[in-house]
Amino acid sequence: MKQKLIIVGAGGRMGHRIISLAVDGMDFSIAGAVDTKGHPDIGKDVGLIACGKSLQVKLDDKFPAAAADVVIDFSQPQAVEETLSYCLVKNCPLVLGTTGLSSQQQEKIRDASKKIAIVYSTNMSVGMNVLFSQAGKIASMLKENYDIEIVEQHHRFKKDAPSGSALTLAENICRETGREYPGCIVYGRQGKEALRKKGEIGIHSIRAGDITGIHSVIFSTEGETISLNHTAHNRDCFARGALRAAAWIVGRKPALYSMADVLGVPK
C-alpha cells in the first residue's frame, strides 16, 4: 500500500525532484504539496510542474486538512515551525532537510521529537553521511599536528553560509578531537595578520553558478595532505535519501533520528 506523502517546499527545485522520484518509485502517493503564499505556481497541478504528469494535486500555501503518513520538508527556515505544528497536531512523522535553522528552531525540533518521530539531517545523501561519519574519526587518528580546513561550494542561489553540511562536518570533527564547537571555527580569513592558530578549523564558502554541492575536508601537515571529497552531481541524491528516510520513519517511535540511523552508518 502506498504511503501518503506531503511535501513542504514542493514548488522549489528539491521539491520537484522529490515529487518526480516519488511518483516514479511507486511507493508514495502525493497527498499534499505546500509552498509559501505568493509562489507563482500556487493553484497549479504540482505533478505537471514537477514531472509532466498530472497528479490532481494542486500546489497550495496551506496544509491539507486530511492527515498523511509522512511529511518531507525541504523549504525555508521560516516555514519550519508551521510544519512542526501541523505534524504535532496530526501525529505525523517528519523528514526535515531544511538548513540554516536557528538554535531556537533546533530546540523546537528536539521538543517536538518527544511526541513525533523526526529525521533531521543537514544532508540526506548516502555518500555525504559516510563522509560525516569518517571525517571525525580520521581527525582523531591524525592528532593535532594536522591543520583542518573545510571548503564547501554551492550554487549562487543558496541563502545560508556556511552550508549545514560543512557545520556538521566541523561539529563531528570537534566531538572526536575534543575541540570546542563552535569556538574553534574560523569563517574565511583576510588581513595582514591572518595566520591560522593551532587547533582551529577553517570553513570557506563558495557560491557560484549552478554548483549542486561540493564538500572537501583537508587535513594537512608538513610533508603531506589528505583530502576527503564529496560531489553531488545533481539533487537526486538528496531526494532519494529523503524518500528513503520517509519510508523508514513511518511507524517509528517518537525520537530525533539522523540519516545515520536511517542508513545504518556509524555516527
How far apart (Å, rounded) are the C-alpha atoms in residues 47 and 55? 5
How far apart (Å, rounded) are the C-alpha atoms in residues 106 and 171? 15
How far apart (Å, rounded) are the C-alpha atoms in residues 259 and 267? 9
Q: Phi and psi of 201, rounded to 5°?
A: -120, 120
Cα angle 144-265-97, degrees, rounded to a multiple of 5: 95
158 is catalytic: yes
How far apart (Å, rounded) are the C-alpha atoms in residues 124 and 105? 19
Sheet with 59-60, side-by-side order of all strands? 59-60, 28-34, 3-8, 70-73, 94-96, 117-120, 255-257
- Pick the catalytic residue: 16, 154, 204, 215? 154
- Pick the catalytic residue: 39, 44, 108, 158? 158
- H/E stretch holding 119 reads strand 117-120
154 is catalytic: yes
> Confidence class of residue 99 from pLDDT cuts 50, 70 and 90?
confident
Q: Which cell goes with 86? A: 501541523
How confident is the model at residue 266, as a pLDDT?
64
User: 25 in helix, strand or coil?
Assistant: helix
Q: Name residues whose C-beta falls within 8 Å of residue 224's C-beta, 6 or more positions apart in sequence.
A: none
How far apart (Å, rounded) are the C-alpha atoms in residues 98 and 122? 7
Percent of the chain residues topping a pLDDT of 70:
99
> Confidence class of residue 58 from pLDDT cuts 50, 70 and 90?
very high
* pLDDT higher than 70, residue 70: yes
How far apart (Å, rounded) are the C-alpha atoms in residues 227 and 214? 13
Distances in Å between the Cα of 77 and the Cα atoms of 28, 59, 101, 102, 105 are 25, 19, 6, 8, 8
Strand pairing report for 94-96 and 70-73: parallel
pLDDT tens column, 15-35:
999 999 999 887 899 999 999
Percent of the chain residues topping a pLDDT of 90:
91
> Confidence class of residue 232 from pLDDT cuts 50, 70 and 90?
very high
pLDDT tens column, 122-151:
899 989 999 998 999 999 999 999 999 999
Distances in Å between the Cα of 1 and the Cα atoms of 53, 248, 259 are 21, 15, 24
The rounded mean pLDDT for the chain is: 95
